[in-house]
Amino acid sequence: MERLRYSIWIIALFVVISVLVQSKLPLWLPRISWLDLPLIVTIYFGLSYRDSIRGMSIGVVAGLLQDALSHGPLGINGVTKTVVGFFTSSVSGRIEVEHTVIRMTALWLFSVVDLGVFAVLEKIFFASRFSWAHYHFVFTPILNAVIGLPLFYLGDRLRKRD
């Protein structure tokens, strides 16, 4: 497997742009709030680096920035993105993640994991009445996979090879 590297500026740019677009785009397109761009960025860099610490670090920064610009509780997205960053980087060391089918599956699967961890944390800490049957759980992973794949290819064009 080939080791990939990214400039710290590229990573920071991806994270900041994803968080800003995530916070502003639903003002014009309310249904787009189902899309989770910081999660897509976390999954991409987690799969690319194959290093759990880096994957978790990118996840916690993306999640905390997302929390800072949202009206939700501070830290809950930080925790979910950290978990996803850890698992994506752990999985990427064991399988080849350059194939389109693997990438689509990873985007869908880790979107479900993110939503599940979010729901559990919200239930535990905020005693909310969360419905697992809500259509958000159906459309968010599909939307993340469909939108995330072209963003993965954009990220591939900006990488440096060792």
d(CA 97, CA 81): 19
- pLDDT tens per residue across span 92-146: 878 888 889 999 999 999 999 999 998 888 888 877 666 655 667 788 899 999 9
Residue 161: strand pairing partners:
4
1 falls in which pLDDT band (50, 70, 90)? very low
Is 54 inside any structural domain? yes
Dihedral, CA atoms, 64, 70, 74, 76, nearest 10 degrees?
A: -70
> Does residue 68 lie within any of the structural domains?
yes
Q: What is the per-residue pLDDT across 68-92, written as a single tens digit (0 to 9) for each?
A: 998 778 889 999 999 999 999 998 8
Residue span of the structural domain in which 152 resides: 7-22+31-161
Residue partners of 110: CB distance under 8 A and separation at least 6: 39, 43, 84, 87, 88
Number of structural domains, the chain?
A: 1
Q: CA-CA distances (angstroms) from residue 28 to 37, 39, 53, 141?
A: 16, 21, 36, 21
The per-residue pLDDT of the chain, averaged, comes to: 86
pLDDT confidence of residue 159: 73
Query: In the chain, pLDDT over 70 holds for what percent of residues?
Result: 91
Q: What was the pLDDT predicted at 134? A: 67
Question: What is the Cα gyration radius of the chain?
Answer: 15
In a domain, 2, yes or no: no
pLDDT for the residue 3: 52
How confident is the model over 56-79, as a mean pLDDT? 91
Please list, in sequence order, all residues whose beta carbon lies within 8 angstroms of the beta carbon of residue 153, skipping any fewer than 6 positions away: none
Mean pLDDT of 28-55: 88
The answer to whether the CB of 148 falls within 8 A of the CB of 42 is: no
The verdict on residue 76 lying in a domain is: yes
pLDDT at site 151: 92
Could you tell me if residue 1 is inside a domain?
no
- Does residue 142 sit within a domain? yes
pTM: 0.90
Q: Report the candidate in 97, 118, 106 with the shortest Cα–Cα distance to residue 144.
A: 106
